[in-house]
Structures are given as structure tokens and as C-alpha cells.
């Protein structure tokens, strides 16, 4: 099944009309170029994925993770008939809104931003794409961000609802990552969100957004396992111990899959361990060991994507799937296998006792920054946000600008700002 270019004018429309440019470039190729050259994408190179980017030269940061998600999404989307540039752009954009210190920083920002509607990384992504990134302005002088096409913005919207309209399943508990509620748009961005979702009923996600979301899950489940092994935090051989597995399964249920039974998780691990490249011995850092891990990454991603492609084609037929005319079908066995990998990394890396003090310190830095910047006022903000602060008409609007500033910082710049402002 080849890629489809069958996206209508409604899908290719931009919030602010732009004259056509080079005829040989599609609208979605232009979107991808704008995203690749954005400051927000560059900043991801210094933001935490799982382990802080300053701790090791090998571990992934938010940028390298986004590049890997983009590759998986592009290949899977192409096989389903999606425009590959559109899907890749959505994947590159999916983590733009992450603040410093990853999900830990996201929780800290959400805790202090209640008066302006809370914080959520995906809602911040939409805000960056449609307001904060500098590229286009409307007739009133308001920034409209990168002014991407409707289809690309829709594909970048993982949670197409406001906080108030979030379904029960999006209201998280425990420490599974992120804020306490997953949503994709702040109340003061609902105008552009309504434009993006024009003609779409309810909370339905477009095919391209579903591909992006799946690619994210697949990529980080596999790559976090790899990073954990290389960092010495995770030895797959420990999973041969029933007592160890019981603890991991508890983490899986608490973080990701509450209803999963032990038998189902055991079966998924058994299938994973049967993959020829699964590591059964110790990791010694040699080129041979590194190559084996790369084979594992390739084998697992290939397996998961093939299962999804086959299930989706079986349901919808061998035709191009675009926008809102179909759904990505993820078999239960794929969901459980991916979740097992995520749970293994969460248990041995994210929940490691030696990280507890660091995580608490990071949350304190984020909370302090919001408090300090709120007291210092516009003079302490970056020039572009200073203008937003001065134009704000309420305390809540001013707090949102402060949150925008803190969210934009990298791990290192958050620590530097904190030291300087204190």
C-alpha cells in the first residue's frame, strides 16, 4: 500500500492563509520543514527523556527520542496510506511541550498552575505550534505560531479535549508519568483548537495521531529498555526470578495497565524472551553486545508494527487510511507486550531508590522558578514572553505566561535560572 496524497483543501488549510510557494513542495513537506527548524525542537536536545541528558553521552534525550518516534511513525504511516511527511511532523512535535526534567517537571508545573488551568505537555505542544513559536502573525498582530496545516495540527493532538472535557480514562492516578489529567488544549487556546477540529465530532483522533501515539509507545518501550541495560540499571536476567517478576507486574498495573492479570503478563514476557535477539547473558559494553541490543530494538519494533499493520488492514482493507475515515487497530497482544517493556523500565529505572532525592529536587526547582518569576515580573522573562505578560489582563493569564517561560527551559537552563534568580 503506497502513501496517499488524497488530503483535501480543508485538511491543507492554514489558520492564516498563505500564498503558495514552490510548487514542487507539498503543504505537509512545508510543515515538516518548519518544525525541523523550530527552536522548540532544538531545545529537546537538552531535556530529560528518562535519564537526564547530562548524565551520559549514550542515553536518549527528548530530541533523539522524537527522531526515533518520527522514523517509526513515518514507516508505519506510509504502510497504512497516510502522508508520510504529515505523520513524521506530528511525531517530531509530540514532545515539544515537555518542560525541563521530563514527566517529573510536568507534574511539578501542574501542581503550581491550577489558577490558570493546570499544565499538560500535550496542551503545551499545541500552544507552541499555534502561538509561542515565531513564524506567522494574523491581521491583528497576534502570533499564530508555525501556522501549520489543519491536518498536521490534528495529527499532533494526542488528547483532543480540554481538561474539563477529559474522559475518565485520561484522569491518571499514581506516578505513571505526567500530570494528573491528560488533555490537549488549554482554555485560552480553544479558538484555534475548534478550527483544527472543525467537522470532527467528539473526541475521535485522526488516523495520523493514532499512528504517532503508537509509535511513541513502541519507541520508548524498546529504547528505554536499551538505555536501562546500557546504564547498568536493568539486567533482563533478573526477570527469571518469579519474585522479581511479581514486583514488576505490580509496577505495570500501577503505572500502565490496571486490569492486567499475572498470566497475561507472563505470557507476553515469554513471547518477548523467545525473540532470538533477547539478551539472556550479562551486558559488557562490547561492540558485539551493543550490536545485539540494536538487533533487539529492530526486531521488537518490526514485530509490533507488523502486528498493527496486519490487524488494521484486516479490518479496513488494503486502502489508504487518512484523517478520520478509519482507526489504527492495535491487537491486545501488542498492547500487553509493549506495556511489559514499559513496566520493566519503569520498575528498574524510574522507580530506582537512588533517583528519589533527585526527583524531589527537580520538582522544587520548577516550583521555585514559578514563584520567583511571578514575583520578579516581566523584567525577568524572555523578551517575547515579556510582551505576553504585559498584555495579560488577569493574574491567571500572567501565571500562564510564567508557566510558558518555565516550560521552555532545558534541564540545564532551569538550574541556571534557579541559581541566578535566587
Are 59 and 231 in contact by the 8 Å Cβ rule? The answer is yes
Backbone angles phi, psi at 70, to 5 degrees: -60, -40
* Phi then psi dihedrals of residue 211, to 5 deg: -65, -45
- The residue extents of the domains of the chain are 11-208, 214-356, 360-421
How do residues 71-100 score in pLDDT, each as one tens digit? 999 999 999 999 999 999 999 999 999 999
| 211, 305, 324, 342, 422 from 157: Cα distances, Å | 12, 21, 13, 22, 37
3 state SS of 61: strand
Query: Has residue 341 got a pLDDT over 90?
Result: yes
Assign 29 a pLDDT band (cuts: 50, 70, 90): very high
Higher-pLDDT residue of 234 and 132 is 132
pLDDT of residue 44: 92
185-201 confidence digits (pLDDT tens): 999 999 999 999 999 98
Q: How confident is the model at residue 365 (pLDDT cuts 50, 70, 90)?
A: very high
Confidence band of 309 (pLDDT split at 50, 70, 90)? very high
Higher pLDDT, 291 or 57: 291
Q: What is the mean pLDDT of residues 221-225?
A: 91
The confidence score (pLDDT) of residue 177 equals: 52
As a whole number of angstroms, the distance between CA 53 and CA 199 comes to 41
State the Cα–Cα distance between residues 121 and 98, nearest whole angstrom.
5
Q: Which superfamily does 11-208 belong to?
A: Hypothetical protein af1432 (1.10.3210.10)
Does residue 126 register a pLDDT over 90?
A: yes
Q: Taking all residues of the chain, what is their mean pLDDT, rounded to a whole number?
A: 91
- Determine the pLDDT at residue 25: 87
What confidence score (pLDDT) does residue 4 get? 42
% of the chain beyond a pLDDT of 90:
78
What per-residue confidence (pLDDT) applies to 357?
81
More confident residue, 220 or 132: 132
pLDDT, greater one: 47 or 403: 403
Closest-CA residue to 227 (of 35, 413, 57, 101) = 57
Going by pLDDT thresholds of 50, 70 and 90, the confidence category of residue 178 is low
Query: What is residue 238's three-state secondary structure?
Result: helix
pLDDT at 245: 95
Taking the C-alpha atoms of residue 14 and residue 137, their distance in angstroms, rounded to an integer, is 12
Give yes or no for residue 131 having a pLDDT over 90.
Answer: yes
pLDDT of residue 52: 47
Banded model confidence at residue 421, pLDDT cuts 50, 70, 90: very high
Closest residue by Cα to residue 243 from 347, 339, 355? 347
Residue 371: per-residue pLDDT = 97
What SS3 state is found at 185?
Answer: strand
Mean pLDDT in residue range 378-398? 96
pLDDT number for residue 385: 96
- Give the pLDDT band of residue 56 (cuts 50, 70, 90): low
Distance of CA 10 to the CA centre of its chain: 26
> According to the model, what pLDDT value does residue 174 have?
45
Q: How confident is the model at residue 172 (pLDDT cuts 50, 70, 90)?
A: low
250-284 pLDDT, tens digit per residue, is 999 999 999 899 999 999 999 999 999 998 888 88
Which residues, including other chains, have CB under 8 Å from residue 265's CB and lie 6 or more apart?
Answer: 245, 249, 252, 336, 340, 343
- The per-residue pLDDT for range 102-115, each reduced to its tens digit, is 889 999 999 999 99
Q: What is the structure's pLDDT at 1?
A: 41
Give the separation between CA 90 and CA 95, rounded to whole angstroms: 10
Q: Say if residue 28's pLDDT is above 50.
A: yes
pLDDT at 2 over 80: no
pLDDT for 170: 83
Give pTM, 2 decimals.
0.91
3-state secondary structure of 141: coil
Highest mean pLDDT pick, 140-144, 218-222, 403-407: 403-407
The reported pLDDT for the residue numbered 280 is: 85
Amino acid at each position: 500500500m503506497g502513501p496517499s496524497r488524497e488530503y483535501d483543501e480543508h485538511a491543507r488549510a492554514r489558520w492564516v492563509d498563505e500564498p503558495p510557494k514552490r510548487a514542487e513542495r507539498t503543504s505537509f513537506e512545508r510543515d515538516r520543514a518548519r518544525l525541523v527548524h523550530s527552536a522548540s525542537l532544538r531545545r529537546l536536545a537538552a531535556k530529560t527523556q528518562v535519564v537526564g541528558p547530562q548524565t551520559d553521552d549514550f542515553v536518549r534525550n527528548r530530541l533523539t527520542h522524537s527522531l526515533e518516534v518520527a522514523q517509526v511513525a513515518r514507516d508505519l504511516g506510509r504502510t497504512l496510506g497516510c502522508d508520510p511527511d504529515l505523520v513524521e511532523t506530528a511525531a517530531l512535535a509530540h514532545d515539544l511541550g515537555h518542560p525541563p526534567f521530563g514527566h517529573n517537571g510536568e507534574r511539578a508545573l501542574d501542581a503550581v498552575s491550577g489558577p490558570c488551568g493546570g499544565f499538560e505537555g500535550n496542551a503545551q505542544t499545541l500552544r507552541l505550534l499555534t502561538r509561542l513559536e515565531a513564524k506567522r502573525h494574523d491581521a491583528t498582530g497576534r502570533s499564530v505560531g508555525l501556522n501549520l496545516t489543519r491536518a498536521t495540527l490534528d495529527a499532533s493532538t494526542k488528547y483532543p479535549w480540554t481538561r474539563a472535557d477529559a474522559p475518565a480514562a485520561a484522569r491518571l492516578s499514581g506516578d505513571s508519568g505526567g500530570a494528573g489529567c491528560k488533555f490537549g488544549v488549554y482554555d485560552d487556546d480553544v479558538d484555534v483548537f475548534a478550527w483544527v477540529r472543525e467537522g470532527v465530532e467528539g473526541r475521535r483522533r485522526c488516523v495520523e495521531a493514532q499512528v504517532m501515539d503508537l509509535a511513541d509507545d513502541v519507541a520508548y518501550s524498546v529504547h528505554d529498555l536499551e538505555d536501562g541495560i546500557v546504564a547498568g540499571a536493568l539486567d533482563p536476567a533478573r526477570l527469571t526470578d518469579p519474585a522479581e517478576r511479581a514486583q514488576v507486574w505490580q509496577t505495570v498495573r500501577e503505572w500502565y495497565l490496571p486490569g492486567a492479570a499475572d498470566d497475561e503478563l507472563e505470557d507476553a514476557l515469554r513471547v518477548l524472551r523467545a525473540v532470538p535477539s533477547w539478551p539472556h547473558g550479562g551486558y559488557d559494553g562490547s561492540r558485539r553486545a551493543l550490536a545485539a541490543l540494536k538487533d533487539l530494538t529492530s526486531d521488537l519494533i518490526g514485530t509490533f508494527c507488523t502486528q498493527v499493520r496486519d490487524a488494521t488492514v484486516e479490518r479496513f482493507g488494503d486502502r489508504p487510511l487518512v484523517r478520520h475515515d478509519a482507526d489504527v487497530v492495535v491487537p491486545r497482544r501488542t498492547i500487553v507486550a509493549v506495556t511489559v517493556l514499559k513496566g520493566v523500565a519503569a520498575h528498574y529505572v524510574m522507580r530506582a531508590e537512588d533517583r528519589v532525592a533527585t526527583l524531589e529536587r527537580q520538582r522544587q526547582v520548577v516550583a521555585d522558578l514559578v514563584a520567583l518569576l511571578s514575583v520578579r515580573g516581566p523584567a525577568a522573562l524572555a523578551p517575547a514572553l515579556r510582551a505576553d505578560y504585559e498584555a495579560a489582563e488577569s493574574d491567571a493569564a500572567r501565571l500562564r505566561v510564567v508557566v510558558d517561560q518555565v516550560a521552555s527551559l532545558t534541564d540545564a537552563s532551569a538550574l541556571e535560572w534557579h541559581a541566578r534568580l535566587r
